[in-house]
Amino acid sequence: MIAVLIAGALAMLLSLFGTRWLIHFFDNLGKGQPILGSEDHGPVHHMKKQGTATMGGLAILGSAFIGWSVAHLRGGIAFSDQAMIMWAGVAVMAFMGFLDDYLKVRKSHNRGIFWKKKGYITFGLVLLIMMWLSAGTGVSHALSFTRFDLPGWNLAPALWVVWTAIMVWATTNAVNVTDGLDGLAAGSALFGFLAFTVIAYWAFRNPDVYHLVNPLDLAVFSAAMAGACGGFLWWNAAPARIFMGDVGALGIGASLGLLAVTTNTQLLLPLICALNVMEAGSVALQMTVFKASGRKKRLFRMSPIHHHFELLGWPETTVIIRFWILSGICVAAAVAIFIADFTHIADSFAGH
């Protein structure tokens, strides 16, 4: 537990000061986040945010990695192959996001050169990461809900790689879509990482039930990400002084997806990331209705759905806080389901 606390606390402190340095850097550079205008059907009501510092995800991911690394200086916890592969996956996705952010800032337009092909490129990269995770670790190949044997359907390695790649890739994109209001993505991700910290540490304390590979290292990984999101949120809360950018959104999304895979909670992920599912789902529904109507009708005034509520007259802070509440309720329900399942298993072990 001490290693988990060290990782979270140190990552929060580093993120707090590292984010402040990034704000100072971009302010001196005179460059910041461009906002889509009316010509791109963007949220013109956010044009006042144009020029806000961006790429805050660099502080989040860098702080989390340092916090995770320093926690290993304490005896009793080893650097696991599983966590190292996860960090490699996060770094790859974050690098793709960084390239897009860099081009947006440089060209002063909110579409990077990869925006049309980014989905295909990132999916291919995630596919390679899942192949590496499958071949290089003892991760379970079972379709899982709260543990490896529920429902316990073992998938062929190739099918498992494709399934988990789709899941992780979808999570990265869902977090990216959610990152449209000040603090919305960072706050909801913080809830998710806290949930995975509980899940992984619980599995560490009950190895005979969960059979995870290096669960303590997963708990430290998740705690570091939670702490880093908390430190960043100090500056990202409305009115934001900095945005996380694609580098942060893709890195955070990859982390959440990979934690679901490695903690055997794949089917619990949609509830832990329910807000992200709702945001990405609203975009899919909007596009479906728009195309089916011959480009004449829209289901929402604007997607993602947080912009719809803004256009209904909700202040931005109201949308953010209410969406945080929804996210918190869903995350709490997911943790409750996980613990309830453990209670059932524990009673069975006790002969009840």
* E strand residue ranges, the chain: 142-147, 150-154
Kindly state the average pLDDT of the residues 52-59.
90
Task: Compute the average pLDDT of residues 77-95.
Answer: 93
pLDDT confidence band for 251 (50 / 70 / 90)? very high
In this prediction, what percent of the chain has a pLDDT beyond 90? 64
- Average confidence (pLDDT) over 175-180: 92
- Asked whether the predicted pLDDT for residue 111 surpasses 70, the reply is no
Phi-psi region of 315 (alpha: psi -120 to 50; beta: other; left: phi over 0): beta
pLDDT tens-digit profile of 264-317? Answer: 999 999 999 999 999 999 999 999 998 888 888 888 888 899 989 988 999 999
Using DSSP, state whether 231 is helix, strand or coil: helix
**pLDDT at residue 99 above 70?**
yes
pLDDT of residue 114: 58
DSSP string, 253-265: HHHHHHHHHHTT-
Task: Give the DSSP letter of residue 242.
Answer: B
Cα 58 to Cα 41: distance, rounded to the nearest angstrom: 28
Query: Residue 53's beta-bridge partner residues?
Result: 242
CA-to-CA distance for 162 and 159, rounded, in angstroms?
5
What is the band of 74 on the pLDDT scale with cuts at 50, 70, 90?
confident
Residue whose C-alpha is closest to residue 7's, from 97, 84, 73, 53: 73
Backbone angles phi, psi at 151, to 5 degrees: -75, -10
The model's confidence at residue 107, banded by pLDDT at 50, 70 and 90, is confident
The rounded radius of gyration (Å) of the Cα atoms in the chain is: 20
**Cβ neighbours for 149, distance < 8 A, ≥ 6 positions apart:** 142
Label residue 320 by pLDDT band (50, 70, 90).
Answer: very high
Q: How far apart are CA 188 and CA 279, in angstroms?
A: 12
131-150, pLDDT tens digit by residue? 999 998 889 999 999 998 88
Q: What is the pLDDT of residue 168?
A: 96
- CA 247 to CA 66: how far, in whole Å? 17
What pLDDT does 30 receive? 74
Looking at the whole model, is its pTM more than 0.95? no
Q: Give the model's pLDDT for residue 59.
A: 96
- Mean pLDDT, range 52-66, rounded to an integer: 93
Q: How confident is the model at residue 326 (pLDDT cuts 50, 70, 90)?
A: very high
Q: What is the mean pLDDT of residues 56-66?
A: 96
pLDDT value of residue 52: 85
Reported as a single tens digit per residue, the pLDDT across 17-55 is 999 999 999 888 777 676 654 454 555 666 667 768 889
The identity of residue 322, as a single letter, is R
Q: Give percent of the chain above pLDDT 70.
A: 90
Check residue 45 and give its pLDDT.
Answer: 61
| Tokens at 26, concatenated | 């971009």
Residue spans per domain, the chain? 2-270
Half-sphere exposure of residue 25, counting CA atoms within 13 Å on the CB side? 12
Residue reference for tokens 């709260």: 146
Rounded Cα gap, residues 147 and 199, in angstroms: 10
- Model confidence at 110: pLDDT above 90: no
Residue 281's pLDDT is what? 93
- Distance from C-alpha of 249 to C-alpha of 276, rounded to nearest angstrom: 11
| Coil/strand/helix, residue 270 | helix
- Comparing CA positions, the residue from 196, 327, 314 lying closest to residue 274 is 327
pLDDT tens-digit map of 183-202: 999 999 999 999 999 999 99
Mean pLDDT of 155-172: 95
What is the predicted pLDDT for the residue at 20? Answer: 95
Reference 185, options 297, 43, 60; nearest CA is 60
Residues across the chain: 352
Residue 351 — pLDDT band, cuts 50, 70, 90? low
pLDDT at site 44 = 61
